């Protein structure tokens, strides 16, 4: 028997039963069962984990320490190393009355004849004698031969250095007719403060002086690089000469013969102008330098004439452009006349004939190249590019 108050959905204890098969369960709220006996809080509480420490790798610590140590060493070294001297001011004495000795130059300085150069450089045409006054500032003094003054222009026929307070440090280079003179002056030991250095100079046709102070290592590096630079240049020129000589012997083209002649004249030109020819003689005299200077001038005028001959041969102006050919023959004749003038008069005529002859040659050959290019002569294309590059190199050579 089912107890009183019990339904088909509860058992005799009042617990809900699952619905009979085929009937839905009644929506009866069932109270929560009482929970089991609670466990102690000490057993249920979570123990907090300690914070993870960020460990810096030992390698990074070592690198940071080494960096700090190197900075300290650099600061200590900079505090002990004396500051290099600097050129605080540059002045020039030029003009008709500048060709004087040191005593007269100092007297003219007291009269205010030295003209300041705010940019610190001096450029002028001609071969007149002039004086440079360099105001050196050495805050902590300098050791002997630790620094050198570089003029950045080695083409002088006269180069004399004077320290009035130190006559023993004066250097008088025998530069007459010498196309190339080393333009660095090793400074003696200087006391702290200001020192005035006087330089008596004269160039060939033009000068472009930009003085600077170098360390002894820098000056030595420039001096050591000179043989390598000259060797590379003359090695390249020699290879060009041999290659074009081979082409001439193989093809029998007169243009290659003229190109070989042009390369040979360039070798003579730069051997004299770079001072290499004089360095091959143990003790060159003034006559030797005058001879090399004359060779330099004659080779330059022969170069102008040979360029005209090569242009006539390569562009075929004799048969295809008679009017242009007459212009080239005029240029060749003037260049040969300049050669005779250089051989007879020596360096005196070079300053008046050389620059105009170079400009005339450049202009006439450029006109010839462009004219043949317009006429449709296809070999004029590489000739125009090659001649343009040659003129550009010559312009840079003249400016520097």
Average pLDDT for 279-306: 89
Contact status, residue 138 vs residue 192, Cβ threshold 8 Å: yes
- Which of 232, 259, 234 minimizes the C-alpha distance to 245? 259
DSSP result, 332-369: HHHHHHHHHHHHHHGGGGHHHHHHHHHHHHHHHHHHHH
DSSP result, 166-225: -GGG-EEE--TT-S----EEE---B-SEEEEEEEEEEEBSEEEE--EEEEHHHHHHHHHH
Average pLDDT for 248-270: 94
**Percentage of the chain exceeding pLDDT 90:** 50
Q: C-alpha angle 31/33/36, rounded to 5°?
A: 160
Q: Which of 63-72, 138-147, 305-314, 373-382 has the lowest mean pLDDT?
A: 63-72
Topology of the domain comprising 86-210: Immunoglobulin-like (2.60.40)
Q: C-alpha angle 143/146/152, rounded to 5°?
A: 135
The predicted pLDDT at position 78 comes to: 47
Q: Is residue 248 scored above 60 in pLDDT?
A: yes
Backbone angles phi, psi at 354, to 5 degrees: -60, -60
Tens of pLDDT, residues 138-164? 887 788 889 999 999 988 888 999 999
Contact status, residue 289 vs residue 177, Cβ threshold 8 Å: yes
Determine the Cα–Cα distance for residues 315 and 371; give it in Å rounded to an integer: 10
pLDDT band at 6 (very low <50, low <70, confident <90, very high): very low
- Which of 299, 323, 328, 300 minimizes the C-alpha distance to 313? 328
Average pLDDT for 261-278: 92
Query: How many CB atoms within 10 Å of residue 369?
Result: 22
Determine the Cα–Cα distance for residues 358 and 301; give it in Å rounded to an integer: 9
- The sign of the dihedral angle between the CA atoms of 50, 54, 59, 65 is negative
Where are the domain boundaries for CATH 2.60.40.2380 in the chain? 86-210
Determine the Cα–Cα distance for residues 245 and 267; give it in Å rounded to an integer: 15
Tell me, yes or no, if the pTM score tops 0.85. Answer: no
Residue 10 per-residue DSSP state = B
Tally the C-alpha atoms within 13 A of residue 180's C-alpha that lie toward its C-beta.
15
Determine the Cα–Cα distance for residues 230 and 235; give it in Å rounded to an integer: 8
Average pLDDT for 110-134: 93
Most confident of 123-127, 265-269, 286-290: 265-269
Contacts 24+ apart (CB under 8 A), 377-382: 377/315, 377/316, 377/320, 379/314, 379/315, 380/315
Residues in CB range of 110: below 8 A, 6 or more apart = none
Q: Is residue 59 scored above 80 in pLDDT?
A: no
What's the farthest any 2 CA atoms get from each other in the chain? 158
DSSP result, 257-300: HHHHHHHHHHHHHHHHHTSHHHHTSSS--HHHHHHHHHHHHHHH
The predicted pLDDT at position 57 comes to: 64
Q: Is residue 127 scored above 80 in pLDDT?
A: yes
Residue 152 per-residue DSSP state = S
Determine the Cα–Cα distance for residues 118 and 134; give it in Å rounded to an integer: 12
Residues paired with residue 147 on neighbouring β-strands, in sequence order: 215
Helix (H) or strand (E) holding 87: strand 86-93
Contact status, residue 287 vs residue 170, Cβ threshold 8 Å: no
């Amino acid at each position: 028997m089912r107890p009183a108050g019990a339904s088909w959905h509860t058992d005799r204890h009042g617990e809900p039963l699952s619905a009979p098969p085929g009937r839905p369960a009644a929506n009866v709220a069932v109270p929560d069962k009482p929970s089991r006996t609670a466990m102690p809080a000490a057993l249920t509480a979570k123990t907090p984990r300690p914070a993870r420490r960020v460990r810096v790798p030992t390698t990074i610590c070592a690198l940071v320490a080494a960096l700090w140590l190197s900075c300290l060493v650099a600061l200590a070294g900079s505090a002990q190393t004396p500051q290099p001297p600097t050129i605080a001011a540059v002045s020039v004495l030029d003009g008709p009355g500048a060709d004087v000795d040191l005593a007269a130059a100092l007297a003219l300085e007291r009269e205010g004849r030295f003209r300041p150069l705010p940019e610190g450089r001096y450029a002028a045409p001609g071969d007149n004698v002039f004086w440079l006054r360099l105001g050196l500032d050495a805050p902590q003094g300098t050791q002997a031969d630790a620094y050198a003054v570089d003029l950045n222009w080695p083409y002088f026929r006269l180069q004399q250095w004077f320290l009035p307070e130190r006559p023993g440090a004066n250097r008088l280079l025998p530069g007459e007719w010498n196309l190339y003179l080393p333009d660095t002056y090793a400074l003696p030991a200087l006391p702290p403060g200001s020192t005035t250095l006087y330089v008596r100079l004269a160039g060939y046709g033009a000068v472009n002086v930009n003085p600077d102070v170098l360390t002894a290592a820098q000056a030595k590096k420039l001096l050591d690089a000179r043989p390598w630079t000259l060797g590379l240049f003359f090695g390249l020129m020699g290879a060009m000469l041999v290659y074009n000589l081979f082409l001439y012997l193989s093809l029998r083209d007169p243009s290659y013969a003229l190109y070989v002649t042009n390369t040979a004249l360039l070798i003579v030109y730069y051997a004299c102008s770079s001072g290499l020819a004089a360095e091959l003689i143990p003790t060159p005299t003034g006559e030797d330098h005058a001879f090399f200077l004359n060779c330099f001038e004659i080779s330059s005028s022969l170069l102008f004439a040979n360029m005209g001959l090569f242009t006539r041969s390569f562009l075929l102006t004799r048969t295809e452009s008679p009017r242009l050919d007459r212009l080239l023959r005029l240029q060749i004749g003037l260049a040969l006349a300049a050669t005779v003038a250089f051989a007879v008069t020596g360096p005196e005529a070079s300053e008046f004939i050389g620059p105009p002859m170079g400009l005339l040659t450049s202009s006439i050959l450029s006109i010839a190249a462009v004219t043949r290019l317009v006429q449709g002569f296809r070999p004029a294309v590489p000739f125009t590019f090659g001649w343009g590059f040659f003129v550009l190199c010559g312009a840079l050579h003249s400016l520097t």
